[in-house]
Amino acid sequence: MSTLSVSLSRKELFLRACKGAALPRVPVWMMRQAGRYLPEYRALRAKHAFLEVCKTPDLAVEVSMQPFRRLDVDAIIVFSDILIPAEAMGLPLELGDAGPNLPEPVRSLDAVRKLRQFDPETETGFLMEAIRRIVRTAGTDVPVLGFAAAPWTLACYMVEGRTKEGFATVKNFLHSEPLAFRELLQRIAQATILYLKAQIAAGASAVQLFDTWCGELAMPDYRAFALPAVQEVISALRETVPVIYYTKASHHLLPAVAEAGAEVLSCDWRVNLAEFRETIGSKIALQGNLDPAVLFAPQEHIRQTTRGILEQLGGVGHILNLGHGILPGTPVENAQTFITTGQQFLFTETASGK
């Protein structure tokens, strides 16, 4: 192992990767790494409802720390949900294992204008307190990550009321009342800026924007609606901490996604990272992108597939992750194999033929 890899803390490793640096090994973590595949999480959830865990700092800290203790991941993402800001903006929220439900969806200009801006420390102070406690517990050498939904993805839930294939209602709103829909995105963007700035003030080393449903849009609509809103959020966070922008099923949008302004683009498993790097150049770091389903395969296949992803970028500006959240039922030992394979893959040794 190189002297550099020994001397770098996990936080330094992570932040250098965000800046596009060439590193002796890449940092590795997993989206949804605190979740149902872990027996200790299931044991805690047997006693506490999902929203209770999100809103109780002691519980949120415990769940956030579980994958760090069990798997030795290189970053800790705070346990929460992307719909927390929707509730803070005035929408009743139900969250359970069956999925989210917003029983009073936003489907008119009047409903948009009833949404309120909120003080993150007052309305969602439980999350900020959880971040502060995680930072104290993990120490200054470990990056703690905050997150939020990108405006388009949060709008999908706020308009549909729940996840629905095709998102016909939200697309109808977009096309039939474009000015009202843009106002909705702008209100979400402003709320998200304050929400993420509060997470950063609480100690987040980086933040991730989840645009899970942007792939539902054609390029013209993505450029006209989703992209300006996410650019507004990222621009407001510039000069604070790195912003990671995750998009799913967005292969057709990637040239525009690269214009969002994020320091790091997180790609799903459908994207070849080397080809994407050729397209966008070296100024933007990449995160990803093992198919979560691969973690059900034999361990040697997991190792081979993970190494193949690592070789695509050669350790330059790369954060190893899954291409989406880890799936319930994933064997813990297979998740461990993924993490360990990434951490033990040394590019200095590979380059020298060892």
Is 146:196 a contact under the CB 8 Å cutoff?
Answer: yes
Beta strand pairing status for 144-149 and 99-101? unpaired
How many of the other CB atoms lie within 10 Å of CB of 57? 19
Catalytic residue among 37, 41, 157, 245: 157
DSSP helix/strand/coil, 137: helix
Active-site annotation holds for 303: no
CA distance 33 to 29: 7
Catalytic residue among 25, 32, 70, 303: 32
CA distance 353 to 24: 14
Is 78:146 a contact under the CB 8 Å cutoff?
Answer: yes
CA distance 288 to 352: 25
CA distance 138 to 130: 12
Element (H, E) at 59: helix 57-71
Catalytic residue among 10, 25, 45, 187: 45
Catalytic residue among 16, 36, 182, 223: 36
Active-site annotation holds for 157: yes
Active-site annotation holds for 70: no
Catalytic residue among 74, 81, 221, 291: 81
CA distance 241 to 79: 19
Tokens 């621009």, residue located? 235
Which residues belong to the active site?
A: 32, 36, 45, 81, 157
